[in-house]
Chains A and B, each alone.
Chain A
Amino acid sequence: MSKTLFDKVWDSHVVQHIENGPDVLFIDRHLVHEVTSPVAFLGLKNRGIKVLYPERTFATADHNTPTINQHLPVKDELSANQLKALEENSKAHNIPYWGLGHEKNGIVHVIGPENGITVPGATIVCGDSHTSTHGAFGAIAFGIGTSEVEMVLSTQCIMQPKPKSMRININGELSPAVTPKDVALFIISKLTTSGATGYFVEYSGEVFRNMSMEGRMTVCNLSIEMGARGGMIAPDEKTFDYIKGREFAPKGAAWDKAMTYWETLYSDSDATFDKELTFDASEIEPMITYGTNPGMGMGIQNEIPMAEQVEGGSATYRKSLAYMEFNEGEAMIGKPIDFVFLGSCTNGRIEDFRAFASIVKGRKKADNVTAWLVPGSHKVEEAIKREGILDILNEAGFELREPGCSACLAMNDDKIPAGKYAVSTSNRNFEGRQGPGARTLLASPLVAAAAAVTGKVTDPRELLELQEA
């Protein structure tokens, strides 16, 4: 029988199928962080059991950590407690723990791939909804709740019904200055934030084939924002090259054995999907969001849609624009902004810093802009320094912070003040997500850089053309 990529990975991980119930799914790799794990570890303690396969779980501190002065004790008491709990739990259960300051520390979804933990055909879970990132390697990866974290720690399994399948095809070539983030925001704007609810998505076509691994991660990361359980891309030479030699990747005979499995990971040519969508690369422009959910995005040169044009709920639409203090029919270009946030598991990798630097090089940060540039991990930070990007940033008046989730969820001190506008490379523009009252415009690192040097929403193509001229 012909199978999709998703079927192949899912079916090979089903330990047991329960009649009139969920599947018992074996989990290959589990990532934990300080915020969603303490109660799960406590559950194990109450049951008097240990973690079943500690070597399959990895712990990092990222969600509520400060991004400056990480060598000093964490001031916020609740955050400090959660960090201490993670460290102690990891120690008690023999789980590798990469706390603040550790060379492998960083955002869960950045350090997984970086260290070779993320591999094709694996099932990967974490108590964070953007776990879908790891799907870029042809893994089934998704976010779970606290009870499920406890399930995986104690039995290395979770219980879930199999989701429906969707394939999104995009062929053709992307225009200049159109990045993977724009591709993702474009898809979400077409599907809306609930368009893929109940589905697991496979991305297919030239656009994704031609993308770097970093770019594929950005796309898969945002799958959750259209309601999907997760997203994945079939592995290819690029995937294998990326993984080879990384610390936790299989080696020697184990590598050969893994490769035999990995080479079977693609959707059969006659496999069918519950839903299939196709777009053309030429339709996609640099994107920006103007509202309070990631589906409210458009090409940066466009005007904010009129409420009548928006399907259903125009009252909600107006409420959303009122929060942003934007009006229907307005252009986004030229709107003044106050903050720029480059970072998060969506766009906090080296490629994103290269893109940002390509625009700010030889220019100066606008005076009205506060910029937070937060690498996704220490390894990204290192690469930024090694490649001379830090010098470019510093010369243009930018500083680099220390790794963490930072203003993506604003659980630490990196909160955008009420009423201020931030162009952010992260993943959610919900009311208050980046701080109470904060207003978020989601965009690519190029659009963020253009805003950072001009102090307003600017089409990055203008600046790139100037450079080339």
Chain B
Amino acid sequence: MAYDKFNILTSSAVPLPIENVDTDQIIPARFLKATERKGFGDNLFRDWRYNSDNTPKEHFVLNNPIYSGKILVGGKNFGSGSSREHAAWAVYDYGFRCVVSSFFADIFRNNCLNIGVLPVQVSPEFLDKIFKAIEGNPDTELEVNLPEQTITLLETGEQESFAINEYKKGNLKNGFDDIDYLLNIKSNIEEFAQNTPL
């Protein structure tokens, strides 16, 4: 699925200072039976966000109107557990374009990168600073600069750089997923197909 190009993102952020957030929390298994990739954002953090009678849980951060933005800041080991791609879909569909944490589970990181969500891994100290800054002022803005691979707290100018694989960086900058990449080299593929023995 195509997504918007990622270049420099400046936005306030939603804090979720919980460690080991697993994909079962991000999107519970009962929402996987769908035949469409639709509405996953509504079920993002479903059981943390809503009571069983579907009324919102007031204390959960996504239900608190003072927090908003396209960046989700999570605790260490974000996205662990089942490999379900639906977790990344839910994050994107809700409107987040970037997730910041001090550590990501491998498969979740890859799933994010492939659908246009940038996972930014920062040091535990910097993560702490971000949480504190948002706590002090919920409108605190972060700048995530993909070409430069930096993340900055705009209020204070404090900055850290982050790592990303060159191939994935190129994809995000161009708004490509793996399929777009492959479609771009389709003529190579077709030529290759003509010469396969099987």
Contacts and interface: CB of A to CB of B under 8 A. Distances in A.
A151 B184 CA distance: 12
B198 A121 contact: yes
A15 B197 contact: no
B36 A38 contact: yes
Contact of A26 (B2, B33, B37, B189): B189
Contacts of A18: 167
A146 B183 contact: no
A39 to B, nearest CB: 5
A19 B167 CA distance: 8
Interface stretch (B57-65, B68-76, B136-144, B174-182): B174-182
Contact of B166 (A13, A19, A43, A46): A19
Nearest to A78: B33
Nearest to B197: A261
A151 B192 contact: no
Contacts of A42: 35-37
Nearest to A53: B193
A385 interface: no
Given A43-B1, A47-B179, A155-B183, A81 B188 contact: no
Interface string A42-76: 11001101001100000000000000000000000
Interface centre among B85, B114, B193 (most CB of A within 10 A): B193
Interface in A357-407: none
B24 to A, nearest CB: 13
B77 interface: no
Interface centre among A49, A122, A155, A159 (most CB of B within 10 A): A155
A155 B197 contact: no
Contacts of A85: 35
Interface string A150-169: 11001111010000000000
A227 interface: no
Give the interface size class of chain A.
Answer: 35 or more
Contacts of B197: 121, 257-258, 260-261
Interface centre among B115, B177, B192 (most CB of A within 10 A): B192
A22 B167 contact: yes
A145 interface: yes
A21 interface: yes
B168 interface: yes
A15 B183 contact: no
Given A15-B192, A119-B198, A155-B189, A24 B36 contact: no
B179 A146 contact: no
A28 B196 contact: yes
A192 interface: no
Interface in A117-174: 119, 121-122, 145-147, 150-151, 154-157, 159
Give the interface size class of chain B.
Answer: 20 to 34
A25 to B, nearest CB: 10
A22 B167 CA distance: 9
Interface string B27-46: 00000011111000000000
Interface in A159-211: 159
A159 B35 contact: no
B165 interface: yes
B5 interface: no
B189 A157 contact: yes
Contacts of A122: 198
B185 interface: yes
A82 B186 CA distance: 30
Contacts of A81: 35
A22 B181 CA distance: 12
Interface string B1-40: 1100000000000000000000000000000011111000
Nearest to B171: A21
Interface string B72-116: 000000000001010000000000000000000000000100110
Given A15-B189, A21-B168, A38-B35, A154 B182 contact: yes
A250 interface: yes
Contact of B188 (A16, A43, A154): A16
B170 to A, nearest CB: 9
A156 B189 contact: yes
B85 A146 contact: yes
B36 to A, nearest CB: 6
A20 interface: yes
Given A46-B1, A53-B193, A145-B83, A24 B182 contact: yes
Given A28-B196, A154-B182, A261-B197, A15 B35 contact: no
A53 B186 CA distance: 12
Interface centre among B166, B186, B198 (most CB of A within 10 A): B198
B193 A26 contact: yes
9 nearest A-B pairs in the assembled complex, by CB-CB distance: A21-B167, A155-B182, A38-B35, A261-B197, A15-B192, A20-B166, A28-B198, A39-B37, A85-B35
Given A151-B179, A156-B189, 13 more contacts: A15-B188, A28-B198, A38-B34, A43-B1, A43-B37, A47-B179, A49-B183, A85-B35, A147-B178, A154-B182, A155-B182, A257-B197, A261-B197
Interface of A: 13, 15-16, 18-22, 24, 26, 28-29, 38-39, 42-43, 46-47, 49, 52-53, 78, 81-82, 85, 119, 121-122, 145-147, 150-151, 154-157, 159, 250, 257-258, 260-261
22 contacts: A15-B185, A15-B188, A19-B167, A20-B166, A21-B168, A22-B167, A26-B189, A28-B196, A29-B198, A42-B37, A49-B183, A52-B189, A78-B33, A81-B35, A146-B85, A147-B114, A147-B115, A155-B182, A155-B183, A157-B189, A159-B181, A159-B182
